[in-house]
Structure 1
Amino acid sequence: MDKQVYVGLKKALELKLEAALITVTSVLGSTPRKPGAQMLVFADGSTFGTIGGGCGEAEGRREALNVITARIPKIYNLNMTADIAQEEGMVCGGIMELFIEYVDTQSSSEKKDFYKDYLTALESKKYPILVTVIQAQHNELLGNKLSIEDLNFLGDLGRIELNKIALEKAKKGARKCQPFIICLSSEFEPCERSSPELVYRLLVEPATTVVQLLILGAGHIAVPLATMAKIVGYEVTVVDDRPSFANTNRFSTADRVICNDFERALESVEIGPQTFVVIITRGHRYDKVCLRKVINKPAAYIGMIGSRKRVKSLISDLETEGIAREALQKVYSPIGLKIGAETPEEIAVCILAELIKVQRELDT
C-alpha cells in the first residue's frame, strides 16, 4: 500500500471520515500509473496518493465522490484520451480501469476493525497480502476483503470457495512486487478475463509495490549500482562500516546510507518479500557475516559477488555451522547476468539486469 494512502486511511479511521479508495486494477495503452496505484478521496474532495494527476485524476475524484454519496462500489473505466493528454501536456491516451470502493468508517464496526487490523499488520512489518472482490455475481460481495499473513487471515470474501482460492494464490504470489488479478468462472474455475464465463475477479495486493534494494558494501560497484537502481525505481539502502565510503556525499541518490558494523546494521534493517539483497563487501569475512545474517530472511533475492571457488568455500563453511543447504542453494552467485562485464559500472549493469529478470519472473 502506498505510504500516503496508508496515512490517509489512518486519518479516516481516527476521525471517522467518509472516504472512497480508488485502485488502478488494469491499464491499456499509455497511462500515467500502473496497476496497484491508489488514491484516497475524502468527502470534502481532499486526497491522499495519486493515480496520475491532471484531468484524468480529477475525473476519478468526481467518481469517487459519487461512490461516497451512494456508498456503493463500482468499476470505472477512465479514458485518458488524446485531447485530455494534450491539454495536460502528457503523452497518454490509454485506459485505466479503476475500482472505487466506499471506505465505511462509521456504520460498520466490522469493516472498521478490519482496516485497523490490516494497517496494524502493515505497521508491524508482517507483510499482509490484501485480497478484494472487484467483480462478482452478486453486488453485495463487491469490496469484501481478506488480509492474509502466512497461514492466518482476517476478513471474508463472502464465499468459502473464494476464501480458499485467495489463500492458495496468495501463498504462491507472496513475493510478487505488483498486484495481480484472479479471474474465475461461476464454478470458481480459473478463466481468462475476456472469457464469457468470467464471473468473479479478485484483486491481490502485496503489502508494498516498492522494490527495496539492500546493498551490503559501499565499494566501487555499489556507487553506479545505487544510482542506476534508483533510476529504475528501487528504494535503495547502502550499508558499510567505513565512514569514507558509507556517506551521503558518495551516495547522493540512495534513500538511506548506514555506516555501522555489518552485523549491527542488519539488525536495524527490515528485509521482506520485496527486498533484493546484494552482497558486495570488500572481503570474504564480511561477505560471510552478511550472508549469515540475511540467509533466513524472506528476501526475494540474495546475490553475492565472488569467484565460484570462493563462494563454494564460504557456503560450505556456513553449512557446517548448521545453516540449511536448501537456503544456501537459493543464493545467486556468481552475481549478475553473464555479459562479459569488467568495469565497476559494467558489473553494476549485469547485477541490475539480474535483479530486473528475477523481479519480472516473480511478477508473472
Structure 2
Amino acid sequence: MRQKIMDNLFKKIAELKEKNEEAYLSIVTKTKGITSCREGAKMLIFPDGKTIGTIGGGEVEFEIIKFVKERKIEKPQTYTFNLTGKSIKNTNSEAIDINSICGGIVEVFVEPLNTKENLYIIGGGHCAVQLSEIASKCGFFVTVVDNRKEWATREKHPYAQRIIISDFEKITETIELKQSDYVVIMTPKHNFDKEVLKQLVNLDLKYLGMMGSLHKVKEIFKQLKNEGIGEEKLKKVYAPIGFPIESKTPEEIAVSITAQLIAVKNNIKEIEFSSNPLLK
C-alpha cells in the first residue's frame, strides 16, 4: 500500500511538472524521540490543502498543510517541530513548538514545485517563434496556442513547454487561466486579436498584452467599448505591446515584449512601461 501511494505521488509530480501547476513536496528529514513521523516519509500538498501521501498524521502534518495554505513559501524551507515541551537550541531551521504528548522532535523539508510564471502566446507566427524561445530562456513556462497545425508544432517552437491547437474564438474553453498568468495576443495577420481580447479582457490576469500598431489598438479598443467593454478594463491591457524601443524584426519585438514581461513579474509598474493609448 505504501509503495502504491508513493507511485501515485511521483506520477502526480510528473503530471504537475508537465502543466506547471503549483504544489509543495514535504519530506521528513530527521526525527528524535517519540513521534508518529517516519524519516523519509513524503507528502505532496496542493494550495487548497489537499494531499497525496502522508508524513505521519497528527499535529506536525496539520501544521505543514496549514503553512502551505496560509504562507507564500517561495523557496525550499526546513521546519523543526518541537513536541517535547522544552526549548530547543542550535537549529538552522524555523522552530515551531507544538503541545503534544509524543515528546519528540521532527524536521520537515518543504520544497515548492513548479514556480515558473505561465506565459500563453496566442498565435504561433514568426514573432511568437522568437518570443517562445527568449521568454522560455528567461524562466517563463511557455504555452503556444494557434489554430494552424503547421505553426503549432514542436519544430516551430522547440523551446515552448506546451503547444495547443485551438480555435481562437474558443480560447477560454481551451485553456484555464489563473490570476498569476501572462497572456500575449499576436494572432496571424491580427485577424483574431479582437476576438481573443474580448474573451480575456474581463479576466483578472497578471499580464495581458496585444501586439499591433497604435492605430490598430485604438480601433479595436473603440469597437470593444461600443460592444460594452469598460474603459477601465481596457486600460489594463499592454497595447501596443512591449517596450517602445523601435523594434522591427521578430527578434527585436520578442526582446521588447520579454523585457516588459520581466518588468511586470518584478512588480515594476510605472506608466511608461505601457503604450496603451488610454493611459496617455
TM-score, shorter chain, exceeding 0.5: yes
The reply on whether 1:107 has 2:58 as its aligned counterpart is yes
Aligned to 2:30: 65
Equivalences for residues 66-215 of structure 1 within 5 A: 66=31, 105-108=56-59, 111=62, 115=65, 130=71, 209-215=115-121
Aligned to 1:315: 221
Q: SS of 2:153's equivalent?
A: coil
One-letter amino acid matched to 2:265: Q
Output one character per residue of 1:48-103: Cα deviation in whole Å (capped at 9) or x when no partner: xxxxxxxxxxxxxxxx314797789xxxxxxxxxxxxxxxxxxxxxxxxxxxxxx8
- Looking at structure 2, the residues matched to 37 and 321 of structure 1 have their Cα atoms a distance apart, in angstroms, of 40
One-letter amino acid matched to 2:242: G
- Looking at structure 1, the residues matched to 201 and 167 of structure 2 have their Cα atoms a distance apart, in angstroms, of 18
Q: Which of structures 1 and 2 has the larger relative contact order (alpha carbons within 8 angstroms, sep 6+)? A: 2
Q: SS of 1:266's equivalent?
A: helix
8 A contact 1:104–1:111 mirrored in 2:
no
What is the CA-CA distance between 1:109 and the residue it aligns to?
A: 10
The reply on whether 1:246 has 2:246 as its aligned counterpart is no
- Looking at structure 1, the residues matched to 199 and 150 of structure 2 have their Cα atoms a distance apart, in angstroms, of 24
Equivalences for residues 5-16 of structure 1 within 5 A: 11=9
| Unaligned stretches of 5+ residues in structure 2 | 11-21, 38-53, 74-78, 88-93, 98-110, 270-280
8 A contact 2:24–2:113 mirrored in 1:
no
| Unaligned stretches of 5+ residues in structure 1 | 1-6, 13-35, 43-63, 73-102, 120-127, 145-204
Instruction: Rate the CA distance shift 1:66–1:206 in 2: closer, same or farther, 3 A.
Output: closer
8 A contact 2:122–2:185 mirrored in 1:
yes
Which of 240, 264, 276 is 2:170 aligned to? 264
What is the CA-CA distance between 1:347 and the residue it aligns to?
A: 0.6
The reply on whether 1:301 has 2:207 as its aligned counterpart is yes
Instruction: Rate the CA distance shift 1:65–1:350 in 2: closer, same or farther, 3 A.
Output: same
Instruction: Rate the CA distance shift 1:210–1:328 in 2: closer, same or farther, 3 A.
Output: same
Aligned to 2:255: 349
- Looking at structure 1, the residues matched to 268 and 59 of structure 2 have their Cα atoms a distance apart, in angstroms, of 36
What is the CA-CA distance between 1:362 and the residue it aligns to?
A: 6.3
Aligned to 1:41: 27
One-letter amino acid matched to 1:219: G
- Looking at structure 1, the residues matched to 150 and 126 of structure 2 have their Cα atoms a distance apart, in angstroms, of 12
Q: SS of 1:223's equivalent?
A: helix
One-letter amino acid matched to 2:71: L
CA-based RMSD of the aligned residues comes to 4.2
Aligned to 2:125: 219
Output one character per residue of 1:108-144: Cα deviation in whole Å (capped at 9) or x when no partner: 49928x94x999xxxxxxxx66358x89xx98x9669
- Looking at structure 1, the residues matched to 114 and 234 of structure 2 have their Cα atoms a distance apart, in angstroms, of 26
One-letter amino acid matched to 2:27: V
Aligned to 2:195: 289
- Looking at structure 2, the residues matched to 251 and 275 of structure 1 have their Cα atoms a distance apart, in angstroms, of 20
What is the CA-CA distance between 1:289 and the residue it aligns to?
A: 1.0
Percent identity over paired residues: 34
Number of aligned residue pairs: give it. Answer: 211
8 A contact 1:210–1:234 mirrored in 2:
yes
Q: SS of 2:192's equivalent?
A: helix
8 A contact 1:336–1:354 mirrored in 2:
yes
One-letter amino acid matched to 2:174: S
- Looking at structure 2, the residues matched to 68 and 282 of structure 1 have their Cα atoms a distance apart, in angstroms, of 65
- Looking at structure 1, the residues matched to 142 and 148 of structure 2 have their Cα atoms a distance apart, in angstroms, of 18
User: What's the TM-score once normalised by structure 1's chain length?
Assistant: 0.49
8 A contact 1:216–1:238 mirrored in 2:
yes
8 A contact 2:24–2:112 mirrored in 1:
no
